[in-house]
Structure 1
Amino acid sequence: MKHENEYPRNDMSPALQNIVCISTIDWDFIWQGHQEIMSTLARQGHRVLFIENTGVRNVTFQDLPRLKARLLNWRKGVKGIRKVMDNLYVYAPLALPFPYSRLACLINKHLMRWTLLRWTKAMRFDNPIVWTWLPTALAQELIRDLNAQLVIYYCADNFEATAAESRSIREPENALLRKADLVFAHSKALFDRCKPFTDQVHLFPYGFNREIFHRPCGSPPVDLVDIKRPILGFVGGVRQIVDFDLVEKVALAHPDKSLVFVGPLQTDVSRLARLPNVHFLGQKRYEEVPAYIKYFDLCLIPYILTDFTRSIHPAKLVDYLALGKSVVSTNLPEVEEFNRHHDGIVAVAASHESFLRQIEECLSRDNEGLRAERMRQVDKDAWDRKIETMEGLIRGKLEEKAKVREQAWQQTFSKLYLTARRRASAAAAACLLGYLLVFQTSLVWWLAKPLLIMEEPASADVVAVMAGGIGESGEPSESYQEKVRQAVDLYQRGYAKHLILSSGVNRAFNEARVMQALAVSLGVPEEAILVDEVGGGNYLSFLTLREIMQTHGWKRALLVTSLYNGRRSRLVAQKNFPEAVVKITPSVDSNFFGDRDQVARRHVRAIAHEYLALLYYRWKGYI
């Protein structure tokens, strides 16, 4: 395993990068590695979008202030995005706080995707490096949507130990570890957790800001002035991992000393607050923290040992040592690991009694030489050196991927060509198969059978001819002659005493009048013929037929239409003239369809036209 100081240091790619940070904390929370790294990269000229925490556990009532703060942050920006410094933008997404609900994940993905894709397009924020601290399914959906050129996962927490529902994160985290181009682990325990899934994991505990911590400090902070010394100090969030039994024992065993906590209160501290020598000063800006540590006489890390704390590397450790302070810690595995690389400069206690003894011993033997040695030991843990090393790894990975793309262009091109050729061959084969099925089999006639209705003629009041010039092919045709001859035959055989000829087509002559002339020439008296010159297609022609029949009091009709128009005509009649008896009697001898031993393109068009017309009529409510 390589420690970060064993890598060659190098800058990131000279070309400035777009970086999307998917964070586990909000920008205004306690200053940590998330803000330190991203603000450093922004100052170097890289453009950064910092996405605030979308959660790894379900919300509780205690989270209501945080939810309120998120809403306020969202309102500060445009659709939740605000600029906090040059090159650095913060996105406070409004998301459903149920990280392991598939439905919530889907909704959150689409809500955030809408904003992110439009913002990245407007900002020309293309091909970003995605640097995520969050391994949830939602975070990985966003990574896919952002089309990342490089994915970095900073594994800084044992999420499974934070809450019961967080155990659901194991599977998506394992998937991210396999997918990420680089993995940075915050502690040795987390390094070991990541190692089985990738050989690209590197150990990077959090560091300290050299510029801020080596800045000269003046007089002590105002809220420290009246606190009795010596001061045993603690910096960071006061939460459940603090061993309050131990802190109480320290306060009672050392009434002449003051215990000072600088950081937000994240749990109930009333038990300790009533002790006269315990002081809670609240959260301070990161730039103010060194001034407090400087006036501590001894620094403490009084954490209980749990599954969670076994894998954390306390960031405050190097903050304390960067100012030369003596440190007493409980026996956290990561503090002991730190000692192995830093000549045992931290006093580690395995029990409460040992912790009390270590306080006395460290205070009694502290001197300028030891303080200088502590500062020298952690100089290599400053953030500037860590980030420089990270940039070298990132640059190397970018160059590696660029070389792979360059070396693989021939293979990629050949693969694309072969894929295109296979697709073209498959398309040609499909077209050939389709052609053979349509034109060399009876498939078309099999499909046409449901459309065909041929009923035996019976005595009726009228024979109606639907022509309209729009026949079997869906285009103007000469099929009206066949229909007129069929109608005249029915008339002459005594099935009805009247003809209705319907067509709205006008070419050189009005088709309805041409049909009338043809019928008269075939022996039908002119007074027995009614003409509909409006037509308008099957549906409108039928409405005209209904109107004529109702005017004359007729109830029965023989309908002469195109051979495969029978199904549509029957449905129109049933829907719009249910009280009438309409029999479908098309002409059997059709020049258009022939003997149906072969299939021509006009036949395919005619059958397709009829099926499409049925769909259209259904959509319009005609049938």
Structure 2
Amino acid sequence: MIKNKPIVFDPLISKYMTKVFDYKKVSKYSIRGVKNYLKDKIPLTKADVVICDTHLHEKYFHDQFDVEYSKMGVVHVGFIPEDFNPENRASTNDNSFRVGFYGTFNPLQGVDKIVGAAKILREEKDIRFDIIGKGPLYNEINKLAKQENNLKNIHFHGLKPYDELGGMLNSFDICLGIFGDSIKTDIVIPNKIYHYAAVGKPIITKDTEGIREGFEHEKNIWLVENTSEAIAESIIKLKNDDSLRKSIADQARETAEQNYTDIGVAREFLNVLAKHDLILNKE
């Protein structure tokens, strides 16, 4: 407690998980590993309420840091409807079938597997890959695509202003999620998934328990084994089946509107506070 005020802590990500298990550059038994553990452990212990973005996130904090389930609650990331909707489409100069991704270039994303899928599909002349974002692995991924494999069907756009992102997502025919191999990949629903769904696009992403908390395979999302081959195969399947692609896109949009708008997320947050007697539950 700080001056008798309750502490509500939303860690969003675990520093310990990121440094030790995601980037794998810090040993959990090293001084830096212990420091990052304590950077998570201390505020998690002192908080009266801990906000998590999935139930698997709750389980991680419980198993790794002994946080009691009774002091945690789930509030999904969600989206802002004014920023992400199916209406504001960015203009394009060709009739390509566009497969798009946005995100930071870190181990969570698995962009190398997207490059692998582009390599497999390099002879499909009407398919192009559009990659938005930057990050620690950007130069490595760009080199893999352009120098080592000389791929002409993948285009890197770098960072884009937030207010342009919704329009760019609307120009895609299929959107790609996350394909990393870390613990974090398996327990989260990243914000891009909500954004893709909000603009009504079919989504291909790694099959994880975290994603399955909010989405259902073949209904409102397309889940795959975590290989470039599976990604490429799924792109072709959805490209060649207009009805399936539209059905998944429409139901993704419906799921986002029903459950994950900013109002819906705010309601989840208030319910967590009410559960812990920090506000009156007026529902």
Q: Could you tell me which amino acid in structure 2 is paired with residue 176 of structure 1?
A: P
Cα distance in 1 for partners of 2:185, 2:195 equals 18
The alignment status of 1:316 with 2:187, answered yes or no, reads no
Match of 2:253, SS?
helix
| Bigger Cα displacement from structure 2, 309-318 vs 329-338 | 329-338
* Residue matched to 2:17: 161
Determine which structure has greater relative contact order: mean sequence separation of CA pairs < 8 Å that are 6+ residues apart, divided by chain length.
2
Match of 2:50, SS?
strand
1:230 shift after superposition: 0.6
Q: Could you tell me which amino acid in structure 1 is paired with residue 16 of structure 2?
A: E
Selected match of 1:278 from 145, 154, 161: 154
Selected match of 1:152 from 8, 15, 18: 8
Once the two structures are superposed, residues 120-178 of structure 1 have per-residue CA deviations (whole angstroms, 9 ceiling, x without a partner) of xxxxxxxxxxxxxxxxxxxxxxx85xx46221111321322322234433345334333
* Residue matched to 1:249: 116
Note if contact 2:16-2:36 (Cα within 8 Å) is conserved in structure 1: yes
1:329 shift after superposition: 0.9
1:338 shift after superposition: 2.8
Note if contact 1:233-1:299 (Cα within 8 Å) is conserved in structure 2: yes
Cα distance in 2 for partners of 1:248, 1:343 equals 24
* Residue matched to 2:278: 398
1:393 shift after superposition: 3.6
* Residue matched to 1:187: 54
| Cα distance change on mapping 1:178 and 1:351 into 2, 3 Å | closer
* Residue matched to 1:264: 134
* Residue matched to 2:29: none
Q: What pairs with 1:132-531 in structure 2 (closer than 5 Å)?
A: 144=2, 147=3, 149-163=5-19, 164=26, 165-195=32-62, 196-198=66-68, 199-214=70-85, 216-217=87-88, 219-220=90-91, 225-226=92-93, 229-255=96-122, 256=125, 257-267=127-137, 268=139, 269-273=142-146, 274-339=150-215, 344-352=219-227, 353-367=229-243, 368-379=246-257, 380-394=259-273, 397-399=277-279
1:235 shift after superposition: 1.3
Match of 1:233, SS?
strand
| Cα distance change on mapping 1:167 and 1:308 into 2, 3 Å | farther
Cα distance in 2 for partners of 1:343, 1:363 equals 14
1:344 shift after superposition: 4.5
TM-score by length of 1: 0.37
Give the % identical residues. 16
* Residue matched to 1:124: none
Cα distance in 1 for partners of 2:89, 2:111 equals 32
Q: Could you tell me which amino acid in structure 2 is paired with residue 259 of structure 1?
A: F
| Cα distance change on mapping 1:370 and 1:312 into 2, 3 Å | closer
Match of 1:398, SS?
coil
RMSD: 2.7
1:303 shift after superposition: 1.8
Cα distance in 2 for partners of 1:193, 1:218 equals 38
Once the two structures are superposed, residues 67-90 of structure 1 have per-residue CA deviations (whole angstroms, 9 ceiling, x without a partner) of xxxxxxxxxxxxxxxxxxxxxxxx
Unaligned 5+ runs, structure 2: 20-25, 27-31
Note if contact 2:89-2:171 (Cα within 8 Å) is conserved in structure 1: no
1:271 shift after superposition: 1.9
Match of 1:162, SS?
helix
| Cα distance change on mapping 1:292 and 1:167 into 2, 3 Å | farther
Rg: which structure is higher?
1
The runs of at least 4 aligned residues of structure 1 exceeding 4 Å deviation read none
1:197 shift after superposition: 2.1
Cα distance in 1 for partners of 2:42, 2:89 equals 50
Note if contact 2:107-2:181 (Cα within 8 Å) is conserved in structure 1: no
| Cα distance change on mapping 1:263 and 1:248 into 2, 3 Å | closer
Match of 1:216, SS?
coil
Cα distance in 1 for partners of 2:226, 2:86 equals 36
Match of 1:378, SS?
helix
Q: Could you tell me which amino acid in structure 2 is paired with residue 156 of structure 1?
A: L
Aligned residue pair count: 251
